[in-house]
Amino acid sequence: MGLIRDIFFYPIKFLLAFILHYEHPKAEIPQGLEERIKLFLLHHFLNFGLGLAKVLDKAGLCYEHDVLRFLVDGIPPQKTNKLFIKNVMFNNLTVRIYQPKVPSAGLRRGIVYCHGGVGRFGSINAYERVCRYICRNSDSVVASVEYRLAPEHPFPAQFDDCLAATIHFMRTAEDYGVDPARVIVCGDSSGGTIAATVCQALVNRTDLPKLRGQILIYPFLQAADFNLPSYQQNEDAPVLLKSRTLDFGFKYLNLDLSLIDDLLRGAHIPESLRQKYSKWLSPDNLPKEFKTRGYKSPQLAPCKEEVYTLAQSFIGATFSPLLAEDAIIRQLPDSFILTCEYDVLRDDGLLYKKRLEDNGVRVTWCHLSDGFHGVLFAVDYGILSFKAGCRGIDRTVNFIKTL
């Protein structure tokens, strides 16, 4: 019996050990977090999932992104009797509509939700709980976009789909009980990138109502500087490690991973652009309290022309909306930006907040001092939810109610 058990379990143990060895980056659980043990477990679960995806990909059994898509979709929630939920087609795009069952005296707000996942994973199923929560608690109609994913559909297909879905929703808003003048675009992480670029793309449209607001939840907003204080301070903070951020981004854009070091040293930005961007990206634009915890001014490398040539695809405003011109920024709608202290992307949000405010845009800012990247994703997962995430999504809902 013992021999049979060993024959069965030893290969499993070996596989588990190999997977954890394959994807086990150094990480430091921040001392300032209230739920450190829960984050520790989440970090190692993610490591296992990423390691499994890479091992299966290397073995030729399936693609890495397919495994990640399956894992991120998570556990389906139970049915709800408080919302009408249905999938509809916006031309060739699947969009999931969430509507409160409680009758409304008039037309409601409408929210177009662009999910995160670095353009390679994530889905309307993965964000089912988030969208239900927002719909239920803000008394709004939510349209969650099932945009196409890379690598099958390279960048900027994700932006193109969300822009098309937003335009379609605005034109047909009343069909869903929505006031066309009260449409908000919302997104988290890379979905926040998309939401920001969609808003920018629509500012000069005269054939549509103006967007009522934008909601950017720990968004990625620029690919020009990966040495901001938050990138240094949270280099090893779960769940979005600095190395993982670049790895995900390069795979999304189908770039050579060997170029990551050049980007970390700033070799993709010529001096002329470096001077232009400095007025928007300088750490001097950050509040003093965010430049503690060991920040050091980086020594940047000279620009490499061949690297800059490749970089032009992702330092444009469609991938880096923080780098858009003031003429666009000043036309943006009321904005909500959520940042997390233990997130490499924290300063992207802070710098965009300042750019918006400098251009006369009203900004509501929520900073989770004990938050980390992705903390809202687990909302409504019971004991798996994080208190910081619950506070963050409630602040988001409160902002929606003001519009």
Task: Enumerate the active-site residues.
Answer: 189, 343, 373
How many angstroms separate the first and last alpha carbons of the chain?
67
List b or e across 282-300, with b for residues whose CB sees 16 or more CB atoms inside 10 angstroms. Answer: ebebbeeebbeeebeebee
Single-letter code of the amino acid located at 323: L
For strand 108-114 and strand 363-372, is the pairing parallel, antiparallel, or unpaired?
Answer: unpaired
Single-letter code of the amino acid located at 166: T
Grouping H, G, I as helix, E, B as strand and the rest as coil, residue 172 is: coil
- Cα distances (Å, whole numbers) of residue 40 to 28, 74, 99, 206: 9, 19, 36, 49
Backbone angles phi, psi at 76, to 5 degrees: -60, 140
The encoded tokens of residue 390 equal: 């619950």
Gap between the Cα atoms of 376 and 395, Å rounded: 11
Q: What is residue 40's DSSP assignment? A: H
Question: Packing angle between helix 387-401 and helix 128-138, nearest 10 degrees?
Answer: 50
Gap between the Cα atoms of 128 and 114, Å rounded: 12
